[in-house]
Amino acid sequence: MWCKTRDKLQALVNAVHELREEIRTMALSLDALTKAVADEKTVEDSAVALLNGLTAKIAELIAASGNTVNPAELQSIIDAINADKQALADAVKANTPTT
């Protein structure tokens, strides 16, 4: 009788160890997933910030150019960048390697 009880207890202990390992693995996977989501958001935000900075700089050039630069041409560049902002952000995200 004692042997059967001991074997059952050992089986329970083994099952608990297996569950503990599975929980640890799940926690590591969740941490990796959380980091991947954060990295993706960071890449996307960086691309948008870059484009916003670029369009702001072009707007500054328009304001400071006087008649030396055609403001309509610079504005068309800003408009094109703004129109493609999401596509560019998606491209940066898609081509950024994950770590």
What are the residue ranges spanned by the domains of the chain?
2-94
Q: What is the pLDDT of residues 54-91, one digit of tens each?
A: 878 877 777 777 767 777 887 888 788 777 777 777 77
Helices (H) and strands (E) in the chain, counts: 3, 0
**Do 43 and 92 contact (CB within 8 A), yes or no?**
yes
Tokens coding 82? 């703004």
* Tens-place pLDDT, residues 35-46: 776 776 777 777
